[in-house]
Amino acid sequence: MLLLASCTGNGGNGNRAPIVLGDTSTIVTEEDSRYTKDMVADLHPNIPTKTHKDEDEQAAPVDTATTPTTTTNTTSTTPPVATAPAKIPAIAPPSTTNGLTIPFKEVSLTIPGIAVKSYRPQDAARANGVSYQLVSGVLNNNRIIVNSGTVLKVSQRYQSQLAVTGEDGTLILDNLNTTTDWEPLAGGKNTYTIKGLEGTKLQAPSFTNSTLRAAITRAARRHRISRKREEEYQASVRNVRRANQKNLTVSLRSVMWKIDGKDAAGRTFSKQVRVDLPQ
């Protein structure tokens, strides 16, 4: 009897009308933002740029003279021979004078007559792009030779930057730079000619007098140039408005090539090579 009374005496649902679809009076609106926000986090990629690491920034080898060691009793009278840990070079040695050969998996390329160095381990057979710094040799009017693989097109672009000259030398304004669009290189019989890198043909970065002054200040602080020398650089370009005016020069910072082709199975591929020039 008690159970029966509790079921009928509550009387909640018996007097309530059925829910009608589309009736706004029966819709419950949640106003607490904790329960209405998106549960999927927004992605804000922060991809760091690849920076060259000097040898001093690499991990230092363990100093065995100060590292504690444990000893055990032994009947041998021959003292153990201490061996120094092998030191891994931070910078790969330059390429041979015969040129730079890049053995990608799908294609092998050679730029003759140049020597380069690399600031990090690179396995071209497993990568889609490689980068180097030029040590010696000339890029303009040089060639990209296809040793193996099927190449359909080779494109080139470069990055140029401004520099200001003064009595104490040339100050490179590395934050005043520009990158060109990809342009196809002329070629045939698996040989493509590198063109358009003459100083007189380089595209110049755009600037104003204020951005030029700010770039000189930034470069002077980076290279720890005295205030007096910075003022001399500032004075030398006070009335400069164009990149081809006196005391301003346009220099080549890096060159990039994109190699498009097809592998043995007929699948398309794209590889990139970058060579930075010493500053």
Higher-scoring residue by pLDDT: 12, 200: 200
- pLDDT confidence of residue 229: 93
Identify the top-confidence range among 3-7, 55-59, 107-111, 209-213: 107-111
- pLDDT confidence of residue 148: 95
Q: Match 């889609």 to its residue by tokens.
A: 128
- pLDDT confidence of residue 110: 97
Identify the top-confidence range among 26-40, 141-155, 161-175: 141-155
pTM for this model (two decimals): 0.64
pLDDT band at 200, cuts 50/70/90?
A: confident
Taking the CA atoms of the chain, what radius of gyration do you get in angstroms? Answer: 33
- pLDDT confidence of residue 211: 93
3-class DSSP assignment, residue 101: strand
pLDDT band at 57, cuts 50/70/90?
A: very low
Provide the residue type at 262 as one letter: K
- pLDDT confidence of residue 269: 97
User: Each residue of 244-262: pLDDT tens digit?
Assistant: 888 999 999 999 999 999 9
- pLDDT confidence of residue 115: 96
3-state secondary structure labels for all residues of 244-276: CCCCEEEEEEEEEEEEEEECCCCCEEEEEEEEE
Report the DSSP pairing between strands 191-193 and 108-112.
unpaired
Q: Residue 30 pLDDT more than 60?
A: no
User: Each residue of 152-191: pLDDT tens digit?
Assistant: 999 999 999 999 988 878 999 988 999 999 999 999 899 9
- Say which range, 75-84, 133-142, 162-171, 220-229, has the weakest mean pLDDT: 75-84
Q: Are 277 and 253 in contact (CB under 8 A)?
A: yes
**Which residues have CB under 8 Å from 226's CB, separation 6+?**
none
> CA 270 to CA 150: how far, in whole Å?
11
In order, the DSSP letters of 140-201 are TT-EEEEEESEEEEEEEEEEEEEEEEETTEEEEEEEEEEEPPPEEPPEETTEEE-----GGG
Q: Residue 46 pLDDT more than 70?
A: no
- pLDDT confidence of residue 118: 92
Over residues 213-235, mean pLDDT? 93
Higher-scoring residue by pLDDT: 192, 242: 192
Over residues 79-90, mean pLDDT? 41
